[in-house]
Amino acid sequence: MQYFTDTDMGLDLRLVNLSVESAFADHGRGLVQMPPKVYITLPEGDFRTMPAYLPSLSIAGVKIVNVHPNNPRQGLPTVMALTIILDLATGQPVAIINATRLTDMRTGAAGAVAAKHLSAKKEIVLGVIGTGRQAEAQVAAISRELKIREIRVWGRNPLHVRKFADRFMEYPCMPVSEEKACDCDVLVTTTPSTTPIIRSEWIREGTHINAIGADAPGKEELDPALLRRAQVFVDDPAQAIHSGEINVPISHGHYRADEIAGTLGEVVIGKKRRSGPEAITIFDSTGLAIQDLAIAKIAMQHGRKIELPFP
């Protein structure tokens, strides 16, 4: 068995985007095995288990990932992850992968795939709500699919906003208010908010939104009224209803599951699409285990490895 370290080093983001896009296509065609992720609640956070089998890549495994919002106070990432890959013929573990950075990258790739297929424009003003690792991952991945003319970023901490702007000095990157950040072509929301922070009236027609932050029950970033104005595409219906952006509005009766426009996989294979250039589209991202397998396949070809005896 091999343990892979530094698995994010040298990975081509365009290749990661393409691999994740292919996994979504398989999902849209019903060619994967992937039950909804399982949540275990802990005193200061939670952890999730995410198993899947992706036949097109001949890979199966499970990721264990935590979310602990107070970790940065201790110098630890909010999200850390470990992926275990199994031999298809025997079930023997063949690899353990440090998937902490890979989780950021595969989520960024999902946002890039959504923006590629759902943005009304190929040259965009990008609005970013939040300044953490996932905000950076979204910008980096989207830049491989669309031409970014300008970034408008909002965050609670001015120091973090300034550091974010320094990270993307190749673009005009302006710190703005939440409302001004929403005056854009593609909006990315990446906060852990449990109350809506994006008002419906701030979003103009034709905007595409990657709703990334809501990934557990009780979280929501968008005004429920905005969902009713938009075409909402989810990564996986069961997960989105349980823990995505639509979970709170559905539980409160402000949105219905039958109003979901489709899945991102269906968009990728051309089965579903935005209704027109003036439509508001939303990608509700919860994170799929097949994304983890897709990026694990690439990482195992590039990451540094250590041999571990097993069994």
Any idea what the CATH number is for the domain that residue 78 is in?
A: 3.30.1780.10
Q: Where are the beta strands (DSSP E) in the chain?
A: 2-5, 38-42, 45-54, 59-67, 79-86, 93-98, 123-129, 147-154, 173-175, 186-189, 208-211, 231-234, 262-263, 281-284, 304-307
Query: 13 and 162, same structural domain?
Result: no
User: Catalytic positions, please?
Assistant: 63
What's the pLDDT at 9? 61
Query: 90 and 206, same structural domain?
Result: no
Query: 51 and 156, same structural domain?
Result: no
Query: 123 and 54, same structural domain?
Result: no
Query: 182 and 71, same structural domain?
Result: no
What's the pLDDT at 309? 77
What's the pLDDT at 250? 97
What's the pLDDT at 8? 63
pLDDT per position in the chain (311 positions), as tens?
787 776 666 789 999 999 999 999 999 999 999 999 999 999 999 999 999 999 999 999 999 999 999 999 999 999 999 999 999 999 999 999 999 999 999 999 999 999 999 999 999 999 999 999 999 999 999 999 999 999 999 999 999 999 999 999 999 999 999 999 999 999 999 999 999 999 999 999 999 999 999 999 999 999 999 999 999 999 999 999 999 999 999 999 999 999 999 999 999 999 999 999 999 999 999 999 999 999 999 999 886 777 877 77
Which backbone phi and psi does 122 adopt, to 5 degrees?
Answer: -100, -15
Query: 146 and 94, same structural domain?
Result: no
Query: 197 and 181, same structural domain?
Result: yes
Express each pLDDT in 165-214 by its tens digit: 999 999 999 999 999 999 999 999 999 999 999 999 999 999 999 999 99
- Taking alpha carbons only, the member of 263, 260, 266 closest to residue 236 is 263
Query: 258 and 154, same structural domain?
Result: yes
Split into its structural domains, the chain has a count of 2
Query: 49 and 167, same structural domain?
Result: no
What's the pLDDT at 1? 78
Compute the distance between CA of residue 164 and CA of residue 138 in angstroms, rounded to an integer.
Answer: 12
Contact present, 10 and 302 (Cβ < 8 Å) = yes
Query: 154 and 115, same structural domain?
Result: yes
Query: 119 and 173, same structural domain?
Result: yes
Which residue range(s) make up the domain with 32? 2-103+290-307
Any idea what the CATH number is for the domain that residue 132 is in?
A: 3.40.50.720
Query: 219 and 113, same structural domain?
Result: yes
